[in-house]
Amino acid sequence: MAQNNPYVCSVLDLRLPGLNGFLVCKQLREDENWTPILMLAAKDGDLDEAEGLETGADGYMTKPFSYVVLLARIRNLLRPLGPPQFGDELVVGDLRLDCARHTAWRGDKELALSPRAMAVFEFLMRNAGRVTSKDQILRHVWDEAFEGDPNIVEVYVSRIRQAIYTSFDRSALQTVRGVGYRLAEDGG
């Protein structure tokens, strides 16, 4: 399933029927599948954990575990790489965003985006090439306490899509059905 579906994260048990998680993880990485992988194991030992990480897992947990900790580890794996940066300019292909001035361009044309749309656009640019889910966008642009309709993300993605597509006839923001959104690494 991991070879045929664009998952945001994989939770991989070490003990699988007919295979083991080490081999599955190693094969996914050899196939250049870079989806974050959290490996689960009943064994608690340094050698097993080291082997899991060396075969390409991004995290390792032993059973039994708390679901609160499991969810926290998954959220940690999905967090954008690197510390948040402010006052910098992000560039993805011909898309540019000046975070300090809250201005965005496609080529030489300035894009008209609301402050909230600009925040969503910044999150997508910082994660260019990666699929980001509605939940990730909500957590990073709104916050974890947001209690409104999660479909509000679709509204802002639609506005961004319209701004970066209108008069350019090039798509840069893709919907990955059932998973989330991906801004093309080359800007489309």
C-alpha separations of 154 from 92, 143, 175, 181 in Å: 21, 16, 10, 10
What is the predicted pLDDT for the residue at 14? 85
Q: In whole angstroms, what is the distance from residue 95 CA to residue 164 CA?
A: 8
Number of other CB atoms surrounding residue 188 within 10 Å:
18
Res. 73 pLDDT band, cuts 50 70 90? confident
What is the predicted pLDDT for the residue at 42? 83
CATH code for the part of the protein at 89-183 = 1.10.10.10
If you ran DSSP here, which 8-state letter would residue 130 be given? S
C-alpha separations of 49 from 19, 92, 162 in Å: 17, 36, 46
Res. 143 pLDDT band, cuts 50 70 90? low
Q: What residues does each domain of the chain span?
A: 10-78, 89-183
SS3 74: helix
Q: In whole angstroms, what is the distance from residue 163 CA to residue 106 CA?
A: 9
Task: Tell me phi and psi for residue 71, to 5 degrees.
Answer: -65, -40
Question: Residue 143 contacts by C-beta under 8 Å, 6 or more apart in sequence?
Answer: none
How much is the pTM?
0.54
The average confidence (pLDDT) of the chain is 83
Per-residue pLDDT tens digits for 25-34:
888 888 888 7
Q: In whole angstroms, what is the distance from residue 9 CA to residue 50 CA?
A: 20
Per-residue pLDDT tens digits for 74-126:
887 776 654 445 557 889 989 999 887 888 999 889 998 888 899 899 999 98
Question: Residue 97 contacts by C-beta under 8 Å, 6 or more apart in sequence?
Answer: 89, 90, 91, 103, 104, 105, 118, 121, 122, 125
CATH code for the part of the protein at 10-78 = 3.40.50.2300
